[in-house]
Amino acid sequence: MIDLRDVSKSYSKGHPAISHMNLHVEKGEFVFIVGNSGSGKSTLIKLLLKELDPTSGTITVNGQRLNKMRRRKVAKYRRGIGVVFQDFRLLKDRNVYENVAFAQRVIERPTRIIKKRVPEMLTLVGLAEKYKSKPDQLSGGEQQRVALARALVNRPNLLLADEPTGNLDPKNSFEIMKLLEEINQRGTTVLVVTHNREIVNAFRKRVITMKKGVIVSDEQEGEYLNEN
C-alpha cells in the first residue's frame, strides 16, 4: 500500500524534517506513528498526501509513484485518501453538514446519496445535532470529529489521521479509536499519528516511533516508548 525508499524532506537549510526514511505498510494494516513534537510525523502525512514533495527519494502509494504523478492526476489520487489534518482544515464559511458533504461532492456523489451518507457519518462521530453549526461555533474536539467524518464519508481505502483525538477527552478518544479500528477491519489501511500513550498501549497495533526525522523503532503489537 505504502512504500517509501530513502525519502528525505528539508524545509530549509536546517535539519531535514524527514531524513533517509524507508517504510513499508501493507494493505489493510493499522499503524500508529508516535514521536516527539517536531519529529516529522505531520511532514510524513503531508508527503503521503502529496501536499509536499520529497527533497529526495521515492514514494509509492497504491502502486502509484507520487514523484512522477501528473498534476491532473493528483486530485484523483487524493480522492482515494481520507485525511484528518492536525489543524482540522475545515471550510470556515460552511456548516458542519456542508463540510462533510464537500468530500462527497468532490467525487460527484448524487445529492440523494449525500443526504443519506452525511447524517449517518455525523451520527457515527456523535455530531448529528450540530450539523448546522459553523466550524467557529464548535469546540476543538467537535471540529476534530467533523474532520474525521469528512475523512471517512467516502469510505477511503487509505486513512491518514494526524492526531485525530488530540482534543478529545479519554472516553471520546477511545470511542473514536474504536471507530477507526472498525473501519480498518472493513479493509481500510489506517495510519494514525498520536501522542496518546494509553490508546497506543491498549490497542496493540504496529507502532512506528520517529525521532528527528528518522524511524527509531518499528514494532508489531508495539508500545508507546518512553521519551528519552
Which window, 5-13, 73-81, 137-145, 210-218, contacts another protein (CB under 8 A)?
Answer: 73-81
Which residues in 28-47 contact ligand ATP (CB under 6 A)? 35, 37-43
CA distance 197 to 140: 20
Paired strand residues for 191: 31, 160
Position 196 contacts ligand ATP (CB under 6 A): no
Candidates 27, 105, 155, 178; binder of another protein (CB under 8 A) is 105
> 18-25 and 2-9: which strand pairing?
antiparallel
Nearer to another protein, 94 or 197 (CB): 94
Which residues in 58-117 contact Mg ion (CB under 5 A)? 86
- For Mg ion (CB under 5 A), the number of binding residues is 2
Which three three-digit cell numbers place residue 69? Answer: 504523478
- Name which of 31, 8, 32 is nearest 21 in CA terms: 8
DSSP string, 178-192: HHHHHHHHTT-EEEE
Which three three-digit cell numbers place residue 130? Answer: 450540530
Candidates 19, 39, 42, 104; binder of Mg ion (CB under 5 A) is 42
Q: How far is the CB of 86 from ligand ATP (least distance, A)?
A: 6
- Name which of 105, 48, 82, 98 is nearest 151 in CA terms: 82
Sign (positive/negative) of CA torsion 107, 188, 89, 146? positive
For Mg ion, the binding residues (CB under 5 A) are 42, 86
For another protein, the binding residues (CB under 8 A) are 49, 51, 72, 75-81, 83, 85, 89-93, 102-103, 105-111, 114, 150
For ligand ATP, the binding residues (CB under 6 A) are 11-12, 17, 35, 37-43, 86
